[in-house]
Amino acid sequence: MAKFRKKPVVIEAVRYPGIRIDNTDEVLAFEDWFKSAGGIGRYVGQNFHIKTLEDGPEGEAKHVASPGDWVIKGVAGEFYPCKPDIFEATYEPAP
C-alpha cells in the first residue's frame, strides 16, 4: 500500500464554545466568523449542526460540533468539526 503525506495548507478554524449563560460574547464571535465565512448551521441543544451537501434526506446533519470542538473551513470552502485532540495532532498555528 502506498503512503501519502498531507500537503501543507493553511486553514481557518474557530473553537465552538457551546452555549452557556456566561459566554455570550464567545458565541457571537463564533457565529460572526461562521456566517461571514459562508457557513450555514443551527443549534440543537448544546451542539451545532453544520449544513453540508451530505445531510440526510430528512435534513439530519452529518457534521455536528460539540462544545470544545474546532470548526474548520477547508480548502474548498467546506466546513466540518474536528475533535480537539485530532486538531492538536494535525494543525499548528500559521504565521
In a domain, 44, yes or no: yes
In a domain, 4, yes or no: no
Instruction: Let me know the angle formed at the C-alpha of 11 by 88 and 44, rounded to the nearest 5 degrees.
Output: 75
Query: Which uninterrupted H or E stretch holds 64?
Result: strand 63-65
In a domain, 6, yes or no: no
In a domain, 3, yes or no: no
The answer on pLDDT for 69 being more than 80 is: yes
| Count of domains forming the chain | 1
Per cent of the chain over pLDDT 90 is 46
In a domain, 2, yes or no: no
Phi, psi at residue 87, to the nearest 5°?
-60, -45
In a domain, 33, yes or no: yes
pLDDT in tens, 11-47: 999 999 998 888 889 999 999 999 999 888 889 899 9
Give me the domain span that covers residue 44: 13-90
Radius of gyration of the chain (CA): 14
In a domain, 7, yes or no: no
In a domain, 43, yes or no: yes
